[in-house]
């Protein structure tokens, strides 16, 4: 089942050349599609188009329910509130402990504030929050770039456990990661 269909979009920022010229892509449940490209190639702009924060000049974007995993887990959580309170604000707590356990997160961590956790723990909390939102599509923006290689690999392995229920669109600079985990890779210039 398609969870994302981007069909022939065109987009340019004001007074700039076209960033996307009749660009298309699809993501289905169970699939990981990676977007590779240098800084300024339009990777983050694509996510902004998919979320509806930007509107293409031409073409259509059809997306099922989505959630996001951001590059820097420390900026994706408010520092003053516990992880659990921030999850409750946006998601159901159904299956909370089951999912937390599968992500190697114990209940104690969920009652702490973001600055009390390591980068790896906090990124796993981001994944937990994203999954509890029950999306059909996960937009993952460099989810491993703030992590060491071993923790980053572990985080991606954990995320991929849930491909039976979601499709993943991944932004990464890491060609090796993209080739390892993706069904297809799109290189932006």
**CA-CA distance, 12 to 32, in Å (whole number)?**
26
Rounded to a whole number, what is the largest CA-CA distance in the chain? 51
pLDDT in tens, 76-116: 899 999 999 999 999 989 889 999 988 889 999 999 999 99
pLDDT value for 111: 97
Are the C-beta atoms of residues 6 and 23 closer than 8 Å to each other? yes
3-state helix, strand and coil shares in percent for the chain, rounded to the nearest 5: 35, 25, 40
Tokens of 47: 């996510």
pLDDT value for 106: 92
**∠ Cα 185 26 124 (to 5°):** 65
**CA-CA distance, 147 to 15, in Å (whole number)?**
37
What structural domains does the chain harbor? 2-187 (3.40.50.300)
Compute how many other C-beta atoms are within 10 angstroms of the C-beta atom of residue 1: 8
pTM: 0.91
pLDDT value for 189: 82
pLDDT value for 48: 95
167-171 β-sheet, strand order = 66-69, 137-141, 167-171, 32-36, 184-187
Residues of the chain whose pLDDT is less than 50?
A: none
**CA-CA distance, 57 to 11, in Å (whole number)?**
5
Dihedral of alpha carbons 41, 44, 48, 49, sign: positive
Tokens of 117: 């956790």
Collect all residues with Cβ–Cβ distance below 8 Å to 101 and sequence separation of at least 6. none
**∠ Cα 186 188 189 (to 5°):** 145
Residue 73 per-residue DSSP state: T
């Amino acid at each position: 089942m398609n969870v994302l269909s981007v069909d022939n979009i065109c987009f340019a920022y004001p007074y700039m050349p076209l960033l996307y010229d009749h660009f298309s892509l699809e993501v289905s449940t169970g699939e990981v599609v990676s977007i590779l490209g240098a800084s300024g190639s339009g990777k983050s702009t694509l996510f902004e188009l998919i979320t509806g924060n930007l509107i293409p000049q031409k073409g259509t974007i059809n997306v099922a329910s989505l959630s996001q995993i951001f590059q820097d887990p420390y900026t994706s959580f408010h520092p003053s509130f516990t992880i659990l309170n921030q999850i409750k604000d946006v998601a159901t707590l159904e299956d909370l402990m089951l999912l937390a356990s599968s992500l190697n997160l114990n209940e104690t961590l969920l009652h702490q504030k973001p600055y009390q956790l390591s980068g790896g723990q906090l990124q796993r909390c981001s994944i937990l929050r994203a999954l509890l939102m029950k999306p059909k599509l996960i937009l993952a923006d460099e989810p491993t770039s703030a992590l060491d290689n071993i923790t980053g690999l572990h985080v991606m392995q954990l995320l991929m456990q849930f491909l039976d229920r979601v499709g993943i669109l991944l932004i990464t600079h890491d060609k090796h990661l993209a080739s390892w985990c993706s069904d297809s890779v799109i290189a932006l210039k």
